[in-house]
Amino acid sequence: MSERTKTFAAVDLGASNGRVMVGRVGPGTLRLSEAHRFPNRPVHLPEGLRWDILGLYGGVLDGLRAAGQVDSLGVDSWAVDYGLLGADGALLGNPVHYRDRRTDAVAEKVWATVPPDELYRSTGIQHAPFNTLYQLVAAQGTPQLATARRLLLIPDLMTYWLTGEQGTELTNASTTQLIDPRTRDWARGPAARLSVDIGLFAPLRRAGDPAGVLLPHVLEATGLRGPVPVTTVASHDTASAVAAVPARPGERFAYLCTGTWSLAGLELDAPVTTEASRAANFTNELGVDGTIRFLRNIMGMWLLQECMRTWGESDIAPLLAEAAELPALRSVVDAADPVFLAPGSMPERIATACRATGQPAPATRAGTTRCIL
């Protein structure tokens, strides 16, 4: 790196909001600032729950405009979800939200062809009903999937719209339950048995690979001067977060990464695909530089985020202050219960769960907040 300070933009898309961060890197220094933050609200349509992907893209452009001139940028997001493109490269509808009900009972259909222990040995990925594999099996026979000629995971879709170049970044690809963590390539055997077309995916890319340059109309929309290169990053947001842990080479550490989901785990050199690991529902997601993120998904702030959306609340500070004044552990629910997975009526579902277990149902917003926390 030259002695001059360089400026980078990080497009970070989470399940509840997105942001564009600016990092200024100089000799021995790193300064971070938030250029723009924007909401990520799922949309209920007659056909199901969908992401407002065009709204997210607009937020990205607004963020890049606010960031100002940059030397390069990269995109990360949540995992498992994707957009389908037709032969002309156009998006075939809004991407399905992973909390959509289309994958209900699909796992059992998959396991009838590839038993769960065999699937885990092949991919190392924990069972979650919304994994990309189950989404694709659920979509089989639909006109949209039949028409599709390309599948891009969410950060790869954003990168494609910015650059016109298609690729599949490896850390996010590993969450699809279609990657072999030992070879770091597609698990073609299980995919073929389940009639999942690996050819829909663009070629694999790794963090650090070039991902193209901003297209002329993107430069015009953002006010940036070209050429602006886009760099492939660890596009699963947790992979980028773990890569940023300030651990020395060879140092053993654990991490807890908290957002809509919380993820607790270790960074390993090789996957663990034993039966004990599968029974504990640990997952082996790929990290940067040949590492494995051995972790468990834990329900994070989703319940509180969904309650706040229901209440029309945008400021969490007053809720936390009021909740702190209430008695601890008055009512306790299992946040990992599948009943809390879907959006909608979250305060009511929490109250119902409390009553079903003989506990007092929270009567106020602060009481519900205390129960969740």
Residues labelled catalytic: 237
110 contacts: CB under 8 Å, gap ≥ 6: 119, 133, 134, 137, 194
Task: Using alpha carbons, select from 171, 177, 135 the residue that is nearest to residue 278.
Answer: 177
Q: What is the DSSP string of 231-262?
A: E----BHHHHHHHTS-PPTT---EEEEESSEE
CA distances from 187 to 37, 207, 348 (A): 37, 20, 42
Per 3-state DSSP, the chain is made up of helix, strand and coil in percentages (nearest 5) of 35, 25, 40
222 contacts 62 by C-beta, under 8 angstroms: no
Strand partners, 231: 210
231 contacts 162 by C-beta, under 8 angstroms: no
Task: Using alpha carbons, select from 65, 88, 55, 109 the residue that is nearest to residue 225.
Answer: 65
Q: Report how far residue 27's alpha carbon sits from residue 228's, in angstroms, rounded to the nearest whole number.
A: 22
Taking the alpha carbons at both ends of the chain, their separation in whole angstroms is: 44
Task: Using alpha carbons, select from 35, 27, 17 the residue that is nearest to residue 73.
Answer: 35
Question: Any alpha helices (H) in the chain, and if so which ranges?
Answer: 53-67, 106-113, 116-123, 132-139, 143-147, 154-163, 170-173, 188-193, 216-222, 237-243, 275-279, 302-311, 316-324, 346-356, 365-372
At 159, is the secondary structure helix, strand, or coil? helix
CA distances from 244 to 7, 15, 154, 234, 295 (A): 17, 20, 22, 11, 16
Neighbours of 348 (CB within 10 A): 13
